[in-house]
Chains A and B, each alone.
Chain A
Amino acid sequence: MTRKEFSDSKNRQTAGAILAQPGENPLTGGAPRDDTLFVVWAEGPCNAKFNNSPHPSFLRNHFPPVPFRQLARDMTQASSSPTDPLALVGRHCLFILEEMGRIALFLAHAFAKMFALPLRAGEVLQQVHFIGLKSLFIVSLTALFTGMVLGLQGYYTLVKFGGEAALGTVVALSVIRELGPVLTALMVTGRAGSSMAAEIGIMRISEQIDALDTMDIDPVHFLASPRLAASIISFPLLTAIFDVVGIIGGYLTGVVLLGVNSGIYLGRMEAAVGMEDVSGGFIKAATFGIIVATVCCYQGYMTHTRREGFGARGVSYSTTTAVVMSAVLIFAFDYVLTSVLL
């Protein structure tokens, strides 16, 4: 039943993921998501018909669908053999690559539309309020406990070789470079990212996104761009607050509780932390903002193409996927950025 959505969604990148079900008539029954890889290119040329390309029937003559379906089925059957783990890995990798490509296209679209008229400043502001301001409490709380734990752990590690004077430096650098951006992003993903995916997902399944489209309002421009802009603004600001509160947390345990000299804690910190540490943390934060907004909006936007569930169940899958994928990408990009920035 998902066929329609696959062949007709406004995102024609996914069109055509229709056919192959191993061991079955390709025209009946739903195939698991990862079995559809081959079909995407098989049906691909037909998707171009919206972009002024030759007539579908012309394409049909040159790309007769039946042999492709046959081929797709054969290939899927061959490769979906459960005894062939290599094929399984290959298929999953291909699927992930493909999905990343689609997300990148979505990002490019949303990003470009951020600067298109109308600018939707009001909506951006509203999203900053929701993503930024309303996350303030939870981010501060996380920061406080993280800083306090760092103070404790750092102290007991450093005291082993008499280095507790470096506690301020340790706390500040780990918070500013690493924990601030990452933990902020994770917390905001849970709070705001999930709700982005759910809200847009519900709009998708109740045809509200189609309605925008028929009104000639670009849904990506209308829904995703303001959230993307607001995330790029909010994430670094929240990270800055995390940094400060985290350092205060370290101060509380290190100085107030365990008796490290206050002047040394702050003085060493000031000497050791450079501007490049701070700006590096902000670069990370902005990147994570882009990742979270893009992935969460994308997952909601594509809810109708999910094959695991429809309706409310589909939205729930979208939300889960959005959060998990955001978190994984945050860690992956954290590593990449760290190695680049260091």
Chain B
Amino acid sequence: MNGRPPLIEFRNLRKSFGSQVVLDGVNLSIEQGRVTTIIGRSGVGKSVLLKHVVGLLTPDSGEVLYRGKNLFQMSHKERKALKSQFSYMFQSLALFDSMTVGENIGLPLKEKTRLSKTEIRERVLAQMKQLELEDIEDKYPSQLSGGMRKRVALARALITRPEIVLFDEPTTGLDPVRRAAVHNMIARYQGELGFTAIIVSHDIPEVFRISQKVAMLEKGRILFEGTGNDILHCSDPAVRRFIEGDEEPDEEAQST
């Protein structure tokens, strides 16, 4: 695109769980400083794809390159350095349920920086304010509503000001106002910090507004790759069906 190698590149990535093939040769590149959105039906393997980037899953074959370097051949040290730039928001949120909201959000800072307690608290509060999470610092995740929990996870992912953020369905289940707020926040952060984001989302077409690239995962491969506008005007029947929310025709009709 701009002559530079992409920040992250999936090359022919394959992953199966037992006999179930989930990723069947995924090729995709993620450019630095851009927001890339991955769409696709539930259960198609979007989360599995993201987990390869942070090393929670290892591919059966193929590779994930970071600035041209294979993630799975890096030394321990290199991986550690990389991890500190990444942030991952789990679809299941994975909040620490025995810690308060404040502790949850502050943990990455407490563990990975030399900031003092008061500095950490200030940053946590600022982050919470931004996500409209005031006055719940001392509550536990189980005492919050689903939408609040989602925003706590978001706050925890963003608190370290990471360079690369992977959001696994950050807006699913939020009301339209909050959804827009999250989108705006991601866009604003990207403007301010210039981070690279990969978002898994079902908010079509709203999420296209903030993404520079959209990729659709289907049957273990990237079926479509382009801008939000492209995909909205794409003529591929499978893409159209997904965008328009039509039901899948049965397998036989499809195989033609």
Contact = CB atoms under 8 A, between A and B. Distances in A.
Nearest to A57: B61
Contacts of B79: 50
23 contacts: A1-B17, A3-B18, A4-B17, A7-B58, A25-B19, A28-B18, A28-B19, A51-B76, A52-B76, A56-B72, A60-B61, A206-B94, A207-B90, A208-B96, A208-B97, A211-B95, A211-B96, A213-B55, A215-B111, A215-B112, A216-B83, A217-B112, A222-B111
Contacts of B10: none
Contacts of B75: 52
Contacts of A211: 88, 90, 94-96
Q: Which 7 A-B pairs have the closest CB atoms?
A: A211-B94, A216-B83, A207-B94, A214-B88, A27-B19, A3-B18, A4-B17
Given A7-B58, A207-B94, A216 B17 contact: no
Contacts of B70: 55
Interface string B47-85: 000000011111111000000001011111001100110
Nearest to B57: A8
Nearest to A210: B56
Interface of B: 17-19, 54-61, 70, 72-76, 79-80, 83-84, 86-88, 90, 92, 94-98, 107-108, 111-112
B96 A4 contact: no
Interface of B is mostly: loop
A58 to B, nearest CB: 10
A49 interface: yes
Contact residues on A (Cβ < 8 Å of other chain), bracket = 20 to 34
A50 B58 contact: yes
Interface in A1-35: 1, 3-4, 7-8, 18, 25, 27-28
B58 A49 contact: yes
A122 B133 CA distance: 28
Contacts of B90: 207, 210-211
Given A7-B58, A214-B87, 20 more contacts: A1-B18, A4-B17, A27-B18, A50-B79, A52-B75, A56-B61, A199-B98, A206-B94, A208-B96, A210-B56, A211-B90, A211-B94, A213-B54, A214-B56, A215-B83, A215-B87, A215-B111, A217-B107, A217-B108, A222-B111
A207 B18 contact: no
Contacts of A213: 54-56
Contact of A55 (B73, B83, B84): B73
B80 to A, nearest CB: 6
A118 interface: yes
Given A3-B18, A55-B73, A207 B61 contact: no
A52 B57 contact: no
Contacts of B72: 49-50, 56
B61 A214 contact: no
Contacts of B112: 215-217
Contacts of A56: 59-61, 72
Given A3-B17, A27-B18, A56-B61, A8 B73 contact: no
A50 B77 CA distance: 11
Nearest to B91: A207
Contacts of A203: 96
B161 to A, nearest CB: 14
A18 B18 CA distance: 8
Interface string A115-133: 0001000000000000000
A284 B94 CA distance: 39
A242 B55 CA distance: 47
A140 to B, nearest CB: 28
Interface in A208-267: 208, 210-211, 213-217, 222
A263 B217 CA distance: 84
A228 B3 CA distance: 52
A207 B19 contact: no
Contacts of A206: 92, 94, 97
Contacts of B87: 214-215
Nearest to A51: B76
Contacts of B84: 216
Contacts of A222: 111
A52 B78 CA distance: 11
Contacts of B59: 56
Contacts of A208: 94-97
